Amino acid sequence: MFMMGNKKKPATKNTKIDTLIGQNSEMHGDVIFSGGLHVDGVIKGNVFAEPESGSILSVSERGFIEGDVRVPNIILNGAVNGDVHAADHIELAEKARVTGNVYYKLIEMVRGAEVNGNLVHRNEGKQDYLPGPAKTSALAQESEDNS
């Protein structure tokens, strides 16, 4: 059998979906996860996963995130209103809409995807911009203490 485009996709450590945010769900607040997270609903808050975890976030065409996203692997076919940081790989599907900057190591972008911001390539050595959950918690506590 003849196969066109025998390209290998980047391997992720966790490709199964552990958590689902359903189409009729809306979450307020930051989401910190490991493994796989699929969003069909709305998240109003930031989404984080550890940079070295191999975690994956998928957002369907019905999904919407209002906040920054900092996840190693992202498959986006919905909308994000905030900056998107992909430590390893990001795939912007046909209905992907990003209003903010996209920071990436490896990017795939399909015709129809839209980025209203900058595309910024990051080398392997520049991963410090991705705070993990422990750092995120410390930053949140720090900002509460300063209030």
Domain boundaries, the chain: 19-145
Other beta carbons within 10 Å of 51:
20
Separation between Cα atoms, residue 145 and residue 147, nearest integer Å? 6
For residues 130-141, one letter each, b for 16 or more C-beta atoms within 10 angstroms of the residue's C-beta and e for the rest, the string is bbbbeebeeeee
d(CA 9, CA 11): 6
Sequential pLDDT tens for the chain (147 residues): 344 444 444 444 446 889 999 999 999 999 999 999 999 999 999 999 988 889 999 999 999 999 999 999 999 999 999 999 999 999 999 999 999 999 999 999 999 999 999 999 998 654 444 454 455 555 455 545 555
Enumerate the β-bridge partners of residue 103.
85, 120
pTM: 0.76
Alpha-carbon gap, residue 139 to 123, rounded angstroms: 25
d(C-alpha 147, C-alpha 142), whole Å? 9
For the segment 95-111, what is each residue's pLDDT rounded down to a tens digit? 999 999 999 999 999 99
